[in-house]
A and B are shown apart, each in its own frame.
Chain A
């Protein structure tokens, strides 16, 4: 039997290439100097193997649309005022913004203004009992989508910023359909802090405290009760649980240039803020206007502190106190530096695995893989003698190819992925079994060794292709629909099938031919 040299060349290339790619992923090679010469590709471990956290966040983009709409309402009021048109009280009503035109005879002027300056908004009007006209505005659907997308992008940017500052190695943040964001934080040791960091909207506002109002009677318009944060450490409920504040903030955290954790005179953790130029000016103005009144610093709707303004504050500095632990002060500083989220997020899905469990999983998984491979490797030679040994060699080759493939594609090995490897071991010998059984059948029928081998390979190859392609279809669908770990499994299975087809159909045929070429098939042992 002659073996063409290109076949041998292909096999040698595959062998050397796969060894080169597989080596860096072996545990023993982690710090070897050899690594510099090898390809810079390694099998990544999934979160379930190295520990870490997987989050799916839902972004409430409608909230961003609402905010933008209210903002537009304010702009309408201001621009109308410039033209001498009196527009009152823009506010949200359901998903639309409502504002009142005080004088009916200014309707044409306002309509023209709306049309020329606010084309993204469509309005409906109705007469108001008080003699004005009530306008209800909403965005065109294209513009609303635009606002949603921008909010989503901004959320992703901000979260990336926060996580980078928090210090997680190789975080993975990506957008998904339906305004969802997927975050993977490998090797995370304190999931609770991470959730706090990611989930916080961090909307910082400064409001005037209305100490002149008695909270027990109905509040005047534009004032609302805001809750105070409680001292978690002592569990003590502060004297006043909520305060009446002006609903409209004096200023927002937009102009915060920097935020750092610090300590006050009593050595309690606090966060000190630095404003940018514009912020500093605003802060100086509002503190000057409200001396001897209280100003509340509100984060996400909760009052952290409400100190009395002793004097005009210049220099653009402020600090937030409020019963923080040191870690909380650090995290709050990060969040304020990175900026607020334009839309609130909620955690739809969390999966976290502690590092020790991950380590245990990988040890057990590898152990199972090893024992499984060993069992198969013992069965094959027992049943097929020398040919069985050949099958074992092919099994090792298949595994090397699989490892190399996983490394080259930068695939992520997950726990189900290890199961996929073990199954590949079981199923990859199937190809060899098919071929060997076919050869035996031909021999029983009285064919000469060489003819039996040729016929065996020819016929069995068709079966192998047919059966493996259907499994590949299942694996492809699994990849398409699956998430995280299941995808890892699909990748392992696919690479395993392809590798085993290559070794069984192509490589082992060449090896058989080389083996038989010595003495025309007399040495066949199957």
Chain B
């Protein structure tokens, strides 16, 4: 796999796939991890303890602090997989020590919602 590691780490868990980009500030409830943006395809679902797969983050860079709050409130994703690295998601995962990788489109599109995987964000592998 052709993977770029943005924040290092290893984890195992189920994939949660978001079709839409995510605006962490405002779009996610930082106390529960629930998606609260009514127009989002994951509306009502929780991103807590999942490996969150989404194209990229949008919105204010303050959204990075929301990612930190999610971690602090123990409802953060286990890891994140993006198609494109944006500064907000990259800095949010970095301050919260959440593994983050960027996958090539082909690999990205082969990921299935609910699939259990092992993510190695050191060597850069999804098994």
* Chain B binds chain A: no
Footprint of B on A, CB under 8 Å? none
Footprint of A on B, CB under 8 Å? none
